[in-house]
Chain A
Amino acid sequence: MKLDGNSIGGLMLELFGDDMTTAGSICGSCGAREEMARLDVYTGAGYVVRCHSCEAVMVRIVEGRGRTWIDLSGTASLELG
């Protein structure tokens, strides 16, 4: 199902200790900068966050067995605060 970055706000807040819906995120593929709330989020077994401009995968999150894996390899940078 396609949602947006607001939908993982609680999970991201728990992981990063800060509100991430307003974090500036730069796509590693096309360089577009968006607040994380504006990114596309696909939910299934985990979460896949895609660039709203070029649809490249920016973040993957999988939870299980009390642990969380975050793949940020598609994100050039995150700006918090």
Chain B
Amino acid sequence: MSETAVARRLTWLTASVAGAVEETPRVRTLELDLPGWPGHRAGQHLDIRLTAEDGYQAERSYSIASAPGGGVELTIERLDDGEVSPYLVEEAREGDQFEVRGPIGGYFVWDGDEPEPVLLVAGGSGVVPLMAMARHRARIGAASPMRLVYSSRTWDDVIYREELETLGLDVVHTLTREQPPGWTGYSRRIDTELLREVALPASESPRVYVCGSTRFVDAAADGLLELGYEPGWIRTERFGATG
């Protein structure tokens, strides 16, 4: 019994930065080397703990962007007044080390073994855990249809812009602040009317994953409920600007 308890106990692991990719001017993906990592499910997150020389510690949660079965990649947005994200986005170099706790969460996950169609709704960097689901679906060749409705401020702020076109899912972009010349897509915040046009029909009983700021998640979830979605279909994850 104690063996099981010990095995399930969460411990801090030491992660090393193994690589980095600039996604947008404010967003970077870090590839981690994580000895002892037990593997993860699409949608899970982990906690990072940084310790300063004087012993001061700061912890933040970050969603895992990579599909299960591969390595661990995090995609992190720089928050200007943050304590952790400016280091991770701008300063962390290959070989840098910090502590990691995870994987975390059995609620906001999609394993790809259910036949229902999947609707992903992302606000900004809320796309990160949804990207793990999209990559997982492509990787395992899941038959369930998947659609991503993705709200960004500008075209240059769209994370994973090129890769999203290659994963075999429908992607609907809306650009809320500025649109490139000739833009024919949506250009407003996600609301009931926009979802009425682009969400999967309620008659298909889709699985829904919504990730973004609290305000974004509330607007999207309320809109979907108005369209006849049942609360049990909708899983949400809110992130805050603590950076």
Q: Which residues of A contact B (CB under 8 A)?
A: 1-7, 9-10, 13-14, 17-19, 21-22, 35-38, 43
Q: Given A1-B242, A21-B107, is A6 in contact with B101 using a C-beta cutoff of 8 Å?
A: no
Cβ A6 vs Cβ B47 within 8 A: no
Cβ A6 vs Cβ B242 within 8 A: no
- How far is the CB of B6 from the nearest CB of chain A, in Å? 9
Cβ A18 vs Cβ B242 within 8 A: no
Residues of B within 8 A of A36 (CB): 107
User: Please, what's the 1-or-0 string for B80-109, where 1 marks a CB less than 8 Å from any CB in chain A?
Assistant: 000000000000000000000110111110
Q: Given A18-B8, A38-B236, is A10 in contact with B46 using a C-beta cutoff of 8 Å?
A: yes
Residues of A within 8 A of B106 (CB): 19, 21-22
Residues of A within 8 A of B5 (CB): 17
Cβ B214 vs Cβ A6 within 8 A: no
Residues of A within 8 A of B237 (CB): 4, 6, 37
Cβ A9 vs Cβ B240 within 8 A: no
Give B162-218 interface residues, CB cut-off 8 Å to A.
214
Cβ A6 vs Cβ B45 within 8 A: yes
Residues of A within 8 A of B154 (CB): none
Docked pose: A38 CA to B217 CA in angstroms: 12
Cβ A43 vs Cβ B101 within 8 A: no
* CB-contact partner of A10 in B9, B10, B240, under 8 A: B10
Cβ B214 vs Cβ A9 within 8 A: no
Q: Given A13-B10, A17-B9, A18-B8, is A6 in contact with B240 using a C-beta cutoff of 8 Å?
A: no
Q: Which residues of B contact A (CB under 8 A)?
A: 5, 8-10, 45-47, 59, 61, 101-102, 104-108, 214, 235-242
Residues of A within 8 A of B104 (CB): 9-10, 13, 19, 21
Docked pose: A4 CA to B210 CA in angstroms: 13
Docked pose: A18 CA to B104 CA in angstroms: 10
Q: Given A2-B214, A10-B10, is A43 in contact with B240 using a C-beta cutoff of 8 Å?
A: yes
Cβ B10 vs Cβ A6 within 8 A: no
Cβ A21 vs Cβ B236 within 8 A: no
The list of the 8 closest CB pairs from A to B, nearest first, reads A37-B107, A21-B107, A10-B47, A9-B104, A19-B106, A1-B240, A22-B106, A10-B104
Q: Given A9-B104, A9-B105, is A43 in contact with B242 using a C-beta cutoff of 8 Å?
A: yes
Cβ A6 vs Cβ B9 within 8 A: no
Residues of A within 8 A of B8 (CB): 17-18
Docked pose: A17 CA to B45 CA in angstroms: 17
- How far is the CB of A41 from the nearest CB of chain B, in Å? 9
Docked pose: A19 CA to B101 CA in angstroms: 13
A-B contact pairs, 29 of them (CB 8 A): A2-B240, A3-B214, A3-B238, A3-B240, A4-B238, A6-B108, A7-B61, A7-B238, A7-B239, A7-B240, A9-B45, A9-B61, A10-B59, A10-B61, A13-B101, A13-B104, A14-B10, A17-B5, A17-B10, A18-B8, A19-B106, A21-B108, A22-B107, A35-B107, A37-B108, A37-B237, A38-B107, A38-B236, A43-B242
